[in-house]
Chain A
Amino acid sequence: MTHSPAVETYTTADGRQIGGVLMDMRNITLRFGGVEAIKDISFDIREGEIRAIIGPNGAGKSSMLNVISGFYVPQEGEVWFRGHRRGPMKPYEVARLGIARTFQNIALFDGMSVLDNIMTGRLNKMKAGFLSQALWWGAAEREEIANREQVEKIIDFLEIQNIRKTPVGRLPYGLKKRVELARALAAEPQLLLLDEPMAGMNVEEKEDMSRFILDVNDEFGTTIALIEHDMGVVMDLSDRVVVMDYGRKIGDGTPDEVRNNQEVIDAYLGVAHD
């Protein structure tokens, strides 16, 4: 059942390059008091792929994403990123490493415009001195223009030109999700984490979002790890899938392998646990 990834790079059927291991989670265990949210799980994410983590409600998917993004620190196990072991880190430090994320319940800056929200994604790309920024002069001006160009590219890409000046608080749900994706992309992340990117969307919005995820991966070559509840969507999107249930890993492999895995079928059909 386990598809052990070849270390050498390969090309997918649709012509995308899949590289070496970008992120390696080794024997991760996460507890909240006496509850084990994640039980000894290992998996890796390879450069350029779309990796999904799926599972029924309460399987520990979001906890896993929060471990990757530094919001939770696991009690046991090792997190390796780009060949280095990562010590316990604060979420903002993880973000600075090049791991961007979105949230299940959308965490945007409601008081700011769409454009300003996306610009915050580039805060860590700004190096100009303090005074020159305040006076809008020299390096700061060039930097801001360069940042704006990059942001405009993302805005075009995600087709949100017509709402760029709108305060985010006024947008409908589906567009908020898209703005959140834009902000994460603005950081030019090496690894993009999406927490239920299609939760609460209608069919049309889901199709749009799927297309954007595929396009981001294709155009920018961004490695994507996403969590989804809805199995159907994930199977079409991802290169490899991790399946979790009750904090354990019960499946790992290509969508086809996972689909035919008896334990996975049981988990989704709700076979009683002994």
Chain B
Amino acid sequence: MDQLIYSAEIFLNGLMTGVMYALVALGFVLIYKASGVFNYAQGVLALFAALTLVGIQQGQVPFRHLINAIFGTHLESFGWTLPSVLAILLTAGVMVLLAVLIEKLVLQHLVGQEPIILFMATIGLAYFLEGLGDVMWGADIKTLDVGLPQGISESIESVTAAWFGYGFFIDRLDIWATAIAALLVAALVAFSQYTKQGRAMRAVADDHQAALSVGISLRFIWVMVWSIAGFVALVAGIMWGTKSGVQFSLSLIALKALPVLMLGGFTSIPGAIVGGLIIGVGEKLFEFWIGPLIGGATENWFAYVLALIFLVFRPQGLFGERIIERV
């Protein structure tokens, strides 16, 4: 009985971890859907967003190490601390600006190239952004606090304690992350299904020539899609940054998004969510039930093995579009 109650707690925690994975996977899906490009830089985008948010909020001078080294100055900070909402808005603005620059400096020159070329370009972009983040804001580990509640949710603990005689440990940050992710997904779905821009985005994803012929500007759509992906990265960056600090390992959360995408399918927003949840729950429960039997540390590989099994039986993922080549 105890085992079951523990499992229930682990299940809930797994769901919420899954939401965090799904947040990262969403960014991949958006860009893949709109341009057929697997954006390797999505994880670094989240890192860059989080770094910029911390920098702006705490009034750090960008490039200060570089400036200090060249000019012998001792710049540290502007001496302000911005309210979280304002800092988040400003960071969102930076992400849009970044999208414009990426389109202008990278994508525009690669129109009509093979997807693999564009993929390579995003690898380059990832390393560039990692370095840029480093130079702009410094390589030290930063704490990010935008006022999201953290720590054990006492109400859930007391309720479960009354019901089961065992209080569940649920982090309030995870609850908030889940709520915000749900809101974000609802907004994205509404956007892509009901707005003119969303329809244009789906059109571009489907056929470039046809999109041009009905008067859609590819460049505008690409800037828009990268801006949205940047915004999703910002949300993911806030959640992960608040949870485990803003540091360069943050960009590695992209690696956890990969199995999520294989499970859910690269082209499906619901797929990213469901895939994230399955992996979040699966790896936690597996660790709890099977881990002790085989020496633990299963969380590191469980997601990938699950993804591999999926690749064998359902290569397009749970919700992905089945590719049928007519010969």
B286 contacts chain A at the CB level, 8 A cutoff:
no
A-contacting 9-mer, from B148-156, B214-222, B237-245? B214-222
Q: Let me know if B209 and A112 touch, CB within 8 A.
A: no
B194 contacts chain A at the CB level, 8 A cutoff:
yes
Cβ of B321: which chain A residues have Cβ within 8 Å of it?
A: 111
Residue among A120, A126, A128 with the highest chain B CB neighbour number at 10 A: A120
B249 contacts chain A at the CB level, 8 A cutoff:
no
A91 contacts chain B at the CB level, 8 A cutoff:
yes
Nearest B-chain residue to A133, judged by Cβ: B195
Cβ of B206: which chain A residues have Cβ within 8 Å of it?
A: 109-112
B113 contacts chain A at the CB level, 8 A cutoff:
no
Give A91-135 as 1s and 0s: 1 = Cβ < 8 Å from B's Cβ atoms. Answer: 111011000110100011111100010011101101010100111
Q: Let me know if B195 and A134 touch, CB within 8 A.
A: yes
Cβ of A91: which chain B residues have Cβ within 8 Å of it?
A: 212-213
A90 contacts chain B at the CB level, 8 A cutoff:
yes
What number of A-B contacts does a CB cutoff of 8 Å give? 84
Give B197-233 as 1s and 0s: 1 = Cβ < 8 Å from A's Cβ atoms. Answer: 1011011011101111111111000000000000000
Query: Which of B195, B199, B210 touches A119 (beta carbons < 8 Å)?
Result: B199
Nearest A-chain residue to B192, judged by Cβ: A134
Cβ of B210: which chain A residues have Cβ within 8 Å of it?
A: 103, 107-109
Cβ of A103: which chain B residues have Cβ within 8 Å of it?
A: 209-210, 213
Cβ of B212: which chain A residues have Cβ within 8 Å of it?
A: 71, 90-92, 95
Interface of B is mostly: helix
Query: Which of A90, A92, A93, A134 touches B191 (beta carbons < 8 Å)?
Result: A134
Known: A107-B207, A110-B206, A112-B206. A100 touches B213 (CB 8 A): yes
Cβ of A51: which chain B residues have Cβ within 8 Å of it?
A: none
Question: In angstroms, how far is the closest chain A Cβ from the Cβ of B61?
Answer: 35
Question: In angstroms, how far is the closest chain B Cβ from the Cβ of A192?
Answer: 11
A220 contacts chain B at the CB level, 8 A cutoff:
no
Cβ of B199: which chain A residues have Cβ within 8 Å of it?
A: 116, 119-120, 123
Cβ of B194: which chain A residues have Cβ within 8 Å of it?
A: 133-134, 136, 140
Question: In angstroms, how far is the closest chain A Cβ from the Cβ of B196?
Answer: 4
A133 to B190, CA, bound (A): 9
Q: Let me know if A69 and B213 touch, CB within 8 A.
A: yes
Nearest B-chain residue to A106, judged by Cβ: B210
Cβ of A134: which chain B residues have Cβ within 8 Å of it?
A: 187, 190-191, 194-195
Q: Let me know if B207 and A108 touch, CB within 8 A.
A: yes
Cβ of A108: which chain B residues have Cβ within 8 Å of it?
A: 207, 210
Q: Let me know if A92 and B207 touch, CB within 8 A.
A: no
Question: In angstroms, how far is the closest chain B Cβ from the Cβ of A197?
Answer: 14
Cβ of B191: which chain A residues have Cβ within 8 Å of it?
A: 134
Question: In angstroms, how far is the closest chain B Cβ from the Cβ of A111?
Answer: 5
A50 contacts chain B at the CB level, 8 A cutoff:
no
A119 to B218, CA, bound (A): 18
Cβ of A136: which chain B residues have Cβ within 8 Å of it?
A: 194
A177 contacts chain B at the CB level, 8 A cutoff:
no
Cβ of B197: which chain A residues have Cβ within 8 Å of it?
A: 130
A37 to B202, CA, bound (A): 34
Query: Which of B187, B190, B202, B215 touches A124 (beta carbons < 8 Å)?
Result: B215
Residue among B191, B207, B214 with the highest chain A CB neighbour number at 10 A: B214
A140 to B241, CA, bound (A): 38
**Given A71-B209, A109-B210, A130-B195, 11 extra CB contacts under 8 A:** A69-B213, A71-B212, A90-B212, A90-B217, A95-B214, A103-B209, A112-B202, A120-B214, A134-B194, A184-B213, A187-B214
26 contacts between A and B (CB under 8 A): A90-B217, A91-B212, A92-B218, A95-B212, A95-B213, A101-B213, A103-B210, A107-B209, A107-B210, A108-B207, A109-B202, A109-B210, A109-B211, A111-B205, A111-B321, A112-B203, A121-B214, A123-B199, A124-B214, A126-B196, A130-B197, A134-B187, A134-B195, A135-B190, A136-B194, A187-B215
Report which A residues bind B (CB closer than 8 A): 69, 71, 90-93, 95-96, 100-101, 103, 107-112, 116, 119-121, 123-124, 126, 128, 130, 133-136, 140, 183-184, 187
User: What are the nearest 9 A-B pairs in CB distance?
Assistant: A95-B215, A107-B210, A109-B206, A91-B212, A133-B195, A126-B196, A124-B215, A107-B209, A96-B215
